[in-house]
Amino acid sequence: MSPTITPSPWIKIFQPISQPTLRLFCFHPSAAGASLFRLWGKYLPSNIEVCAIQLPGRETRIKEPLITEWDYLLPTLTQALLPLIEEYPFAFFGHSLGALISFEVVHKLRREKLPIPKYMFVSGRRAPQIPIDKPLYQASNPTLISTLREYGGTPEAVLQNQDLMEFFLPILRADFTINEKYMYFPEAPLESPIVAFRGTNDVAVSLQQLSGWEQHTISNFALHEFPGGHMFFQKEPKTLIEAILKFL
């Protein structure tokens, strides 16, 4: 990473590269954080730098208040990205809530005539124009815990641990609030190609809901499924990264 750039708390670069030919910005899902992408660098060529987004209220930003408002999230996050996206070409990968945030960030960049990603990779999230039919952000704690269980990716021992759940559930609730209170406003499709991914057993998004992303690009659109559930790449990201690399 060039010495001119002061890292922002919004962006974690686990393996900095001095002059990358491409930066891959990774937007994490609800109740997760930047560490989900900690090992991605080892599966990528040495010229691609992984920049993981870190929302407040978790991991390295645990003492900061959680965000539940788009009006605060978007301008602040976009501002943090600016020095990095103006330096080198870049692509976005977002999973679940992360896919939605990355989509809104791209629109904000385009409205402000700033660089936009060479590629958009979206995963595990219905297309933005499809409303969420059963909001959960106000659901009871037991309902949220059973939702986490359905999504997979959270060990049963963690789900059964009351202290850990008291810690995690407010984060999950805040992230669900952002995801479910989202209002879609139609805009012209993007020039960036879009590639959409899901696990074949994902209970959160159907193939049909995923294919709705196609209307958001005037460029190429591709759709890939992988074995597994909502968090299909969590334990073994290699197959997903290989699929992303085919495009990059």
Asked if residue 41 lies in contact with residue 15, where contact means CB atoms within 8 angstroms, the answer is: yes
Question: Cα–Cα distance between 167 and 180 in angstroms, integer?
Answer: 21
What's the confidence (pLDDT) of residue 196? 98
What's the confidence (pLDDT) of residue 152? 83
pLDDT digits (tens, 9 = 90+) for 114-148: 999 999 999 999 999 999 988 899 999 999 999 98
Burial class (CB in 10 A: 0-12, 13-18, 19+), 2: exposed
Mean of the per-residue pLDDT values of the chain: 94
96 is catalytic: yes
Q: Is pLDDT of 3 > 70? A: no
Mean pLDDT of 159-180: 93
The proportion of the chain whose per-residue pLDDT surpasses 90, expressed as a percent, equals 90
What's the confidence (pLDDT) of residue 5? 58
Runs of H (alpha helix) within the chain: 70-85, 97-111, 141-151, 156-159, 162-180, 207-211, 238-247
Residue 151 binned pLDDT confidence (cut-offs 50, 70, 90)? confident
Residue 22 binned pLDDT confidence (cut-offs 50, 70, 90)? very high
Q: Which residue has the higher pLDDT, 134 or 171?
A: 171
Q: Is pLDDT of 88 > 50? A: yes
Fold of 11-132+184-247: Rossmann fold (3.40.50)
What's the confidence (pLDDT) of residue 1? 45
Annotated catalytic residue within 96, 102, 123, 192: 96
Mean pLDDT of 214-229: 97
Mean pLDDT of 75-84: 96
Q: Is pLDDT of 110 > 80? A: yes
What's the confidence (pLDDT) of residue 193? 98
Asked if residue 95 lies in contact with residue 25, where contact means CB atoms within 8 angstroms, the answer is: no
Mean pLDDT of 185-195: 97
What's the confidence (pLDDT) of residue 2? 45
